[in-house]
Amino acid sequence: MVNETKKEFSAKKNFNFSEWYSNIIEKAEIVDLRLGIKGFITIRPWGTLIIEKLFDMFEEELQGKGHLPVIMPSVIPESNLKRESSHIKGFTPQVFWLETEKGEEKLALRPTSETVFTPMFSLWIRSHRDLPLKLYQRGSVFRYDTKATRPLIRGREFQWIECHDAFATKHDAEAQVQEDIDTTEKILHEKLGIPFFPMKRPQWDKFAGAEYTIGSDVLMPDGKMIQQPSTHFMGQKFSRAFDAKFRTKDDREDFIYTTAYGPAMSRILVSIISTHGDDFGLVLPFSVSPIQVVIVPIYTTKNKDKIMKYSHEIMEKIRIHGINATLDSRDIYSPGWKFHDSELKGIPFRIEIGEKEFKSKKITLFIRDIKKKQVISASSLKNISKLGKEYDERLKRNADSFVKNKIVDCKTKADIKKTVDSGKIARVNFCSVQEQGLHCAEIIEKEIGAEVRGTLANKNEKQSGNCAICSKKAEAVVYIAKSY
């Protein structure tokens, strides 16, 4: 047998989240940082398999809503980036530039792809009959983030899906923004059990080149917000920059309206780890776990053959029902080590099969999230799919419960500081989410160490009274929190 020292956590999730997170992504074999390139990480097989499942989920949902996949270049000519002035101003500090041959145009590793999609829209779209055109690509984007990097949370390369959509009218484009929020709800909340707040960003914090941005904020265990999928209404800004026109139904010439939507799989993995994980390791939703059931055979030299044969039979019976099951047949590890490893990796269900189970034709089922065992009949294996749905619903309820009382109404700067320092979100009457409100936002950032995240995009909240910072008449209800 190999050394079976358990991979103990040196920190507890609810007391030292930062250290707990660093421990879990290493010990559960999600990433490896030893290559030593700041902002760039190696994602190990277990992390990659989860990310691939996330890609599959989003692509199925997007294609079901009319999006089609494309593969676009990973580089963008400098002249393209310069076409939309606010866009280049916002992204130039974050661009990785490539060396090119003398006389060739300077190229950037794509930080985002509006400036390659829109030129193609100008070629592919001729009339209203070509609209809407809804496309997406999957892959890496690169941003020279100068802030402190954190594995999967903040980096200089991340894995994502990038949707770019073109429409004939503003109404249709804004309907797409709402559809994007619905896509986030369907995947992030309903399937993965991660509650989020769709926040319309203040004007000073919108995506560079957008008319407005809606970011999906998720509350982490340490009380900080992390942005998940964001959607941007570009209006006609990029189409005007790239002369992307079409013939309308009444035979006029007009510029297309565009939107963009970007769920980052590597960052969504952060929320899965952080929202559901515990002090024993990952707790993966049944819907996204690369292995949904692991079978651990328990045998001696005398009964090994029959136990292994029976375990294989059980595995095949489970797979018939479309469940991803595997048999842990590694002889160098003991059953106890395998139990610990499956819990660390967050596999939802573990089946233990020994002499007792072989004789009784029953199996011992361990349920990861509640850490309880139950004995079920081998003939009821088809019920694991149902148990998996119940498992995911349980994770979702627990996550919803975590954020339930995290929003606190605050009237003063002292109230805001007390709230965000306690790991909660401050709801505040605020002077303005237009540029004139930036001064108050800077005070919040400097004196409280928090940010104005925006206004709720799915709820029309009525402001009253005066701004909690400057005492001017309030024009909006905003949410304030610390963030990554």
pLDDT at 6 over 70: no
Q: Tens digit of pLDDT for each residue in 265-282? A: 999 999 999 999 999 999
pLDDT at 182 over 50: yes
Would you place residue 92 in the very low, low, confident or very high pLDDT band (cuts 50, 70, 90)?
confident
- With contact defined as beta carbons under 8 Å apart, do 220 and 153 qualify? no
User: What sign does the CA torsion over 442, 443, 448, 454 have?
Assistant: negative
* Predicted pLDDT of residue 3: 47
Task: Name 302's Cβ contacts closer than 8 Å, sequence gap at least 6.
Answer: none
Point out the least confidently predicted range of 86-90, 91-95, 127-131.
Answer: 86-90
Would you place residue 457 in the very low, low, confident or very high pLDDT band (cuts 50, 70, 90)?
very high
Question: The domain 17-276 is classified under which CATH number: 3.40.30.10, 3.30.930.10, 3.50.50.60, 3.40.50.150?
Answer: 3.30.930.10
Would you place residue 5 in the very low, low, confident or very high pLDDT band (cuts 50, 70, 90)?
very low
pLDDT at 2 over 50: no
Q: Report the C-alpha gap between 296 and 299 in whole angstroms.
A: 10
**Which residue reads 């139904």 in tokens?**
249
Q: Report the C-alpha gap between 398 and 103 in whole angstroms.
A: 59
What is 293-401's CATH superfamily? Anticodon-binding domain (3.40.50.800)
Q: Tens digit of pLDDT for each residue in 211-258? A: 999 999 999 999 999 999 999 999 999 999 999 999 999 999 999 999
- With contact defined as beta carbons under 8 Å apart, do 84 and 114 qualify? yes
CATH 3.30.930.10 domain span(s) along the chain: 17-276
Query: What tokens does 445 get?
Result: 């950032």
CA atoms within 13 A on the CB side of 19: 8
Point out the least confidently predicted range of 7-16, 218-227, 260-269.
Answer: 7-16
pLDDT at 91 over 90: no
* Predicted pLDDT of residue 8: 55
* Predicted pLDDT of residue 1: 45
3-class state of residue 425 by DSSP:
strand
Mean pLDDT along residues 139-157: 87
The pTM of the full predicted model, rounded to 2 decimals, is 0.95
CATH 3.30.110.30 domain span(s) along the chain: 407-483
Query: What tokens does 148 get?
Result: 């402190």
* Predicted pLDDT of residue 11: 86
Q: Tens digit of pLDDT for each residue in 60-76? A: 999 999 999 999 999 99
* Predicted pLDDT of residue 351: 98
pLDDT at 10 over 70: yes
Cβ atoms < 10 Å from Cβ of 29: 16
* Predicted pLDDT of residue 7: 52
Would you place residue 441 in the very low, low, confident or very high pLDDT band (cuts 50, 70, 90)?
very high
Q: Tens digit of pLDDT for each residue in 319-332? A: 999 999 999 999 99
Cβ atoms < 10 Å from Cβ of 280: 16
CATH 3.40.50.800 domain span(s) along the chain: 293-401
Percent of the chain with pLDDT over 70: 98
CATH architecture of 407-483: 2-Layer Sandwich (3.30)
- With contact defined as beta carbons under 8 Å apart, do 468 and 450 qualify? no
**Which residue reads 């029953």 in tokens?**
362
Q: Report the C-alpha gap between 311 and 335 in whole angstroms.
A: 14
* Predicted pLDDT of residue 93: 77
